[in-house]
Amino acid sequence: MTNLLALGYPWIKAFHIMSVIAWMAGLFYLPRLFVYHVEQVGQSGETHALFQTMELKLLRVIMNPAMIATWVFGLCLVFTPGIVDWTAIWPWTKAAGVLGMTWFHHWLGLRRKDFISGSNDLSGRQYRMMNEVPTLLMVLIVLSVVIKF
Digit-coded pLDDT (tens) for 59-95: 999 999 999 999 999 999 999 998 999 999 999 999 9
Q: In 3-state terms, the chain is what percent helix, strand and coil (to 5)?
A: 80, 0, 20
* 38 pLDDT tier (thresholds 50, 70, 90): very high
Number of residues in the chain: 149
- φ, ψ at 73 (rounded to 5°): -70, -35
Rounded Cα–Cα distance for residues 92 and 89 (Å): 6
> 133-147 and 9-36 are packed helices; what angle lies between their axes, rounded to 10 degrees?
160
pLDDT at residue 2 in the model: 66
Rounded Cα–Cα distance for residues 2 and 55 (Å): 39
Domains held by the chain: number:
1
Helices (H) and strands (E) in the chain, counts: 7, 0
CA 82 to chain centroid, in Å, comes to 27
CA-to-CA separations, 24 to 2, 40, 56, 80, in angstroms, rounded: 29, 24, 16, 24
pLDDT in tens, 107-131: 999 999 999 999 999 999 999 999 9
Share of the chain above pLDDT 70, in %: 99
Q: Which structural domain range is residue 84 located in?
A: 2-147
CA 15 to chain centroid, in Å, comes to 15
